[in-house]
Structure 1
Amino acid sequence: MQGETGNRAENAPLPLIEEAHRVAPQDARELSKLFFERLGTLEEGSAERTYARTTLIEMNLSLVHYVAGRFRNRGNGQLEDIVQVGTVGLIKAIDRFDASRGFEFVSFAVPCILGEIKRHFRDTSWAVHVPRRLQELRHRITASQERLSSVLGREPTVKELAADLEVSEEQALEAIMAANGYAAGSIDTPHGSCDDGETHKGGRSLADVMGAPDPAIETFEHLHALAPLLAGLGERERRIIEMRFGQELTQAEIGTALGLSQMHVSRLLSRTLAQLRRGLLTHG
């Protein structure tokens, strides 16, 4: 008798819900349970299954708007675009959700929606193309910087970041440099603002106040290209190069850290850079 009752419940038509997107969130939760129970019993491609799936999507769109609202002020794209991406996450959550496991759909769907939106920002928010591995490493470095800063009471060095993340110093430095591609601004942007937040009329642009090219940048580019030759340096020479160009310490600061005179550091640095230049010409 009970089996017959259960079969009749399974075979009963789903309630017809017009304007499912207007269903209150609390009602949507209860109705979603019913629709998910039936969704797994319906034949793939059938009209009833299509109706059940579509209604589940529309009833739970409030979850997408809730999550998307957290990104309202990110400044990357319109809110409508974020909602569209979040809806993709909702659809994936509906297709993957297993009601038999006893979990609430909301607790399963929100992380799926959030992950889809975060993936969208990660893939589209960079002003210049940066390899995915560097994008992902940048996020890890940001978290590591915050964690180490609280422990050390200062900004961590490249070496400390690399050790914390178990990557090479070169990889850590590459990710830090790649972070410059996260956002871009026009050099014609007005420079400075009034006390009330308004930009000075007739003021100088950012291009007007930009400094001259730094010769150290060219040196850094050479060092970056010389990664294999850097690996062949002695430990002290590699450390001096890392402290000078990675940590941006002065020669005096390097000498204090290594117990050397500034003059000695200067000679070692000049000799090492000359060796690297010769290596670059030889391999060129």
Structure 2
Amino acid sequence: MPIETGPAVDEKEVEGRSAEELLEGLQALPQDDPEAIRIQEEVLELYRPLLYRIARHYSGRGEPYEDLRQTAHLGLVKAVHGYNPHRGKKFISYLLPTVTGEIKRHFRDHTWAVRVPRRHQERRGRLHRVSIEFQQRHAREPGIDELAREMDLPRAEVEELLQASEAYSTLSLDLPDHKDEEGSPTLEERIGGEDDSYELVLERESLRPAMCCLDDRERVLLRLRFFEDLTQAQIAEEIGCSQMHVSRLLAATLDKLRERVDRDETPS
């Protein structure tokens, strides 16, 4: 169904000036100039009724109307900043695909597909509105700390909410990795692989009883060398001896472990 923009919506004027004329004057001004801000507000007010009609056109599809209005408003802000009046096209011809594209992106990125806690479902709409309002004020996306301040929530809660929001939509694992290539493997075939850590489990379990034969100093040496990744020189400084002595102690400790592991693995 086509969206009805209304009669001659692109020919509306503010104080005798068309949107194209307003935006042409906007290009010559710094973004924080009071006159630039006034012009942007005039254009936003001029096309606000159109935004509401577009939002209503997409309502009833699982998303709150207020969210769709905010998304359409963000599309208008982007259109104001991206429109080039010198190309000779009417602003409305640039505005409509920008706004509808923003709304379609909203549906693509914000559709629950995985069950998440109810508190996240309830807060997601507010998160989206706060994010859009921040983008409208600052012309950039907010960071996590900025969202936390705007929503008066702890940073950890916002991080969890953002992760939950990603569950709003999912991709089927049966989809081909490259849709335009015949015989392309599916996402399921490309995800996952062998975990090399499984082979380490047996080795670690074999070492566990062997570690009991080591004294405290030998355990400290192994911890500093293989867990904290210190060099022999750093270990020498840490325990107060020469690097050569550390080398001898490590070699003796490892030999002791090997001998104990071999003895434990030898059938009686």
Q: TM-score, normalised by structure 2?
A: 0.42
Structure possessing the higher relative contact order (Cα contacts under 8 Å, 6 or more residues apart): 2
Could you say which structure has the larger radius of gyration?
Answer: 2
Q: Normalising by structure 1, what TM-score?
A: 0.40
